[in-house]
Amino acid sequence: MNEDKGIQMKSVTLNIKTNTHTEMQEITDRVQEAVSDSGIENGICMLFVPHTTAAVTINENADPDVVRDFIMELDKIVPWDDGYHHFEGNSAAHLKASIIGFSEHIIVENGRLQLGTWQGIYFCEYDGPRSRKLKIKIMED
């Protein structure tokens, strides 16, 4: 909180339960709810995944086959078994998480995430099922 300028910041942590080994779980409504609850009308919503085998991204939410293709093609780029050295056996999950990334920023106007018509926010699990966290910070203009 910047008291001098009256700028507000709100922090929220979402608990996300993933259900399968690899999945893209749409969380758009949950993020919008956090923005609405913050009372911040205009600013930036930052998302951060505090894990090494999960990620967050924005992509099409109209046709579920986009998500299926996403998962299918990423599996080709980074196969689960490929002579990796990491003792835990989940190097593919670490690699996919870094490829997709651990954060997103979304502009907020009039209390609404300014996503495009076909855009949704996805929590990406690459070594589930697990109980995960997504950290959200909403910063006022």
Is residue 128 near Zn ion by the rule CB under 5 A? no
Q: What is the 3-state secondary structure (H, E, C) of 36-78?
A: HHHCCCCEEEEEECCCCCEEEEEEECCCHHHHHHHHHHHHHHC
Nearer to Zn ion, 38 or 90 (CB): 90
- Range 89-108, binding Zn ion (CB under 5 A): 90
Is residue 25 near Zn ion by the rule CB under 5 A? no
CB 130 → Zn ion: shortest distance, Å? 12
How many CB atoms lie under 10 A from the CB of residue 1?
A: 10
Is residue 88 near Zn ion by the rule CB under 5 A? yes
Task: Catalog residues that contact Zn ion under the rule CB under 5 A.
Answer: 88, 90
